[in-house]
């Protein structure tokens, strides 16, 4: 019962508990007392009090408390498909045993529409330690992880944040609706009068509200919440920065490889921009929502809600994007950053030196079609960049100047799609908020353990590929289902530096500490990035020239 008292005391001390919740807690403390102490395991399980009821978790051998599979929203199924998420009510019996992950959201290969779960990871005995510190109600800083996957795949379960938690922060990982179930504009649905299109972003915001309202019960500070994410999760971070509806829900933001072509002009119109365009026109990658409905013979929202989720997944593209819906997103992200009309909090933003090589590997080498000749390279550039820009790429990125066609195509893809847009976004943000720019530069970042059936097909090294940095922040971050090789001693030193930077930023809004090299805020006058390279990060001054940003990509 001591854990119950700690949880109750913390919530009362911070003024977050309503009279109804106190009454329910008092009743449940009595009625559940025998159940909570029925065994040795239950007696020593970590416990927290939320607005939905008591939550018990488990403690790992590494000294981390895990509360897994906590529902934060009513399942968005049936008539609630394609509607804004609703907060979860009370747990059955006012009690949840949070010891296993909830379902991932519907995607290729499985999942469920009942997927709006989150996981909370805290240092062991955080509640007791805080009471001893007499911190005047100031809990531990909180980091909320938004997973990537093109907004069509991924889940919160893949990321073990133990290294971050061991540095004295609480980490929350969340699921959110994906694919057409999470990002969909269609005339009949959009005529219903509710917030439309960006259901996945709405889920993220509801999860952040859950953190605001409940994290004190886990020993966290609801006023120190940093959102962070990678790839589509990084784009989600940018979207939440730009969203008026996310104001006040976080105090810092970290975007890893999240900059999009919204920060460039040469793919103008490539993505869906507005709900109206999404309904009727679609984009180069995403079909119009009305056309999707017609393909199922549907003209009503009720008809669409009866379509099996797996059938929707079967026809969706490999990636979707948020819409400018007029409420959650009132303008393009680049416009919000340029005008200063965004949630002005400190930001860490960056990417990886060889981002695009992994995409080349999957599209060419692993498909049995490596780029081995200049002619094949020319064809590949047209396929990537289109008939107008494509013929120019081999002039700027000559086949003969690179060790292989895969590296050559990876260079233009990295520079044009990710690196230079990243720099453009950083330059916009830095005019208004402290922005810490980085580039992950470990060219020997581990791929998966030796697998001839996979890596024997590659004709080039992956380098610092897209997602390579995740294994430096999380435990057991796999590589497309394959186990990663362990980090070397120098790579572990880099990992320690990155974890320190990320968690120090969550604590103070500034990544700097006495233990790591100084990381100065980005300035357009110096144009310096922090190079995350083993064993010790250094200042990088050649990002612009190395990626041909101002000399080529920003000339359009």
Domain boundaries of the chain, sorted by first residue? 2-263, 275-315, 346-555
The first and second tokens of residue 503, run together, are 């968690």
Label residue 65 exposed, middle or buried (CB < 10 Å: 0-12, 13-18, 19+). Answer: buried
Going residue by residue through the chain, which has 556 residues, state the pLDDT in tens, using 9 for 90 and above: 334 343 444 434 444 444 444 444 444 443 444 334 334 455 578 999 999 999 999 999 999 999 999 999 999 999 999 999 999 999 999 999 999 999 999 999 999 999 999 999 999 977 554 443 444 458 999 999 999 999 999 999 999 999 999 999 999 999 999 999 999 999 999 999 999 999 999 999 999 999 999 999 999 999 999 999 999 999 999 999 999 999 999 999 999 999 877 788 766 544 567 888 888 887 767 889 999 999 999 999 999 999 999 999 999 998 898 999 999 999 999 999 999 999 999 999 999 999 999 999 999 999 999 999 999 999 999 999 999 999 999 999 999 999 999 999 999 999 999 999 999 999 999 999 999 999 999 999 998 776 777 788 899 999 999 999 999 999 976 777 778 889 999 999 999 999 999 999 999 999 999 999 999 999 999 999 999 999 999 999 999 999 999 999 999 8
* Residue 97 neighbours by CB under 8 Å, 6+ apart: 56
Cβ atoms of 231 and 149 within 8 Å: the answer is yes
Residue range 346-555 forms a domain whose CATH class is alpha beta
Distance CA 356, CA 377 (A): 15
Closest CA to 324 of 221, 407, 211, 242: 242
Cis before 535? omega within 30:
yes
In the three-class reduction of DSSP (H, G, I as helix; E, B as strand; rest coil), residue 124 is classed as coil
User: What pLDDT is stored for residue 13 in this prediction?
Assistant: 40
The chain-wide mean pLDDT, for the chain, equals: 89
Q: Where is 187: in which H helix or E strand?
A: helix 187-190
Task: Give pLDDT tens digits for 408-461.
Answer: 999 999 999 999 999 999 999 999 999 999 999 999 999 877 677 778 889 999
The first and second tokens of residue 186, run together, are 């269609």
- DSSP 8-state class, residue 150: T
Q: Out of 3.90.950.10, 3.90.1170.50, 3.20.20.70, 3.40.50.1820, which CATH number does the structure's domain 2-263 have?
A: 3.40.50.1820
Count Cβ atoms below 10 Å from residue 216 Cβ, excluding itself. Answer: 28
DSSP track, 53-106: EEEE-EE-TTSEEEEEEEE-B----GGGTTS---B--PPGGGEEE-BSPPPPBS
Distance CA 162, CA 182 (A): 29
Q: How are beta strands 47-50 and 53-56 bridged, if at all?
A: antiparallel
2-263 and 346-555: identical CATH topology: yes
Beta strands in 215-269 (DSSP E): 220-230, 252-256
The first and second tokens of residue 6, run together, are 């700690």
DSSP track, 413-463: HIIIIIIHHHHHHHHHHTTTS-EEEEEE--TT---BSP-HHHHTT-SS---
């Amino acid at each position: 019962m001591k854990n119950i008292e700690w949880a109750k005391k913390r919530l009362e001390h911070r003024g977050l508990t309503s009279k109804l919740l106190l009454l329910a807690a008092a009743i449940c403390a009595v009625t559940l007392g025998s159940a909570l102490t029925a065994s040795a395991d239950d007696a020593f399980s970590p416990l927290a009090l939320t607005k939905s009821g008591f939550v018990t978790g488990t403690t790992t051998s590494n000294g981390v408390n895990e509360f897994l599979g906590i529902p934060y929203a009513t399942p968005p199924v049936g008539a609630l498909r394609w509607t804004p998420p609703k907060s979860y009510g009370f747990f059955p019996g006012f009690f949840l045993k949070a010891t296993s992950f909830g379902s991932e959201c519907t995607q290729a290969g499985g999942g469920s529409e009942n997927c709006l779960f989150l996981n909370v990871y805290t240092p062991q005995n955080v509640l007791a330690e805080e009471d001893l510190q007499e911190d005047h109600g100031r809990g531990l800083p909180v980091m909320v992880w938004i997973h990537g996957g093109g907004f069509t795949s991924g889940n919160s379960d893949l990321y073990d944040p133990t290294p971050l938690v061991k540095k004295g922060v609480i980490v929350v990982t969340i699921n959110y609706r994906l694919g057409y179930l999470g990002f969909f504009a269609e005339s009949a649905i959009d005529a219903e009068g509710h917030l439309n299109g960006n259901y996945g972003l709405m889920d993220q915001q509801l999860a952040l509200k859950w953190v605001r309202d409940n994290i004190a019960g886990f020993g966290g500070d609801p006023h120190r919440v940093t959102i962070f994410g990678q790839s589509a999760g990084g784009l989600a971070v940018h979207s939440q920065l730009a969203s008026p509806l996310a104001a006040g829900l976080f105090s810092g933001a970290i975007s890893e490889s999240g900059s999009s072509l919204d920060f460039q002009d040469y793919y103008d119109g490539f993505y869906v921009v507005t709900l109206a365009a999404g309904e009727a026109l679609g984009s180069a990658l995403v079909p119009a929502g009305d056309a999707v409905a017609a393909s199922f013979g549907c003209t009503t929202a009720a008809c669409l809600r009866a379509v099996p989720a797996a059938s929707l997944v079967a026809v969706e593209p490999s990636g979707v994007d948020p819409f400018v819906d007029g409420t959650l997103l009132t303008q393009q992200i680049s416009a919000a950053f340029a005008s200063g009309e965004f949630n002005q909090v400190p930001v860490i933003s960056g990417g990886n030196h060889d981002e695009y090589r992994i995409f080349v590997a999957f599209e060419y080498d692993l498909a049995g079609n490596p780029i081995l000749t200049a002619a094949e390279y020319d064809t590949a550039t047209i396929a990537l960049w289109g008939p107008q820009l494509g013929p120019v790429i081999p002039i700027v990125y000559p086949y003969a100047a690179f060790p292989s066609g895969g590296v050559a195509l990876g260079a233009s893809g990295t520079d044009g799609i990710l690196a230079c847009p990243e720099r453009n976004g950083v330059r916009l943000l830095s005019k208004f908020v402290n922005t810490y720019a980085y580039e992950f530069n470990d060219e020997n970042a581990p791929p998966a353990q030796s697998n001839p059936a996979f890596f024997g097909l590659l004709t080039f090294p992956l380098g610092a590929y897209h997602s390579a940095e995740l294994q430096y922040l999380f435990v057991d971050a796999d590589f497309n289902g394959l186990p990663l090789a362990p980090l070397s001693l120098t790579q572990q030193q880099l990992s320690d530096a990155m974890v320190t930077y990320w968690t120090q930023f969550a604590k103070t809004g500034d990544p700097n500490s006495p233990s790591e090299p100084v990381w100065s805020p980005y300035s357009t006058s110096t144009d310096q990035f922090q190079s995350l390279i083993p064993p010790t990060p250094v200042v990088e001054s050649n990002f612009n020239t190395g990626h041909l940003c101002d000399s080529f990509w920003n000339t359009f």
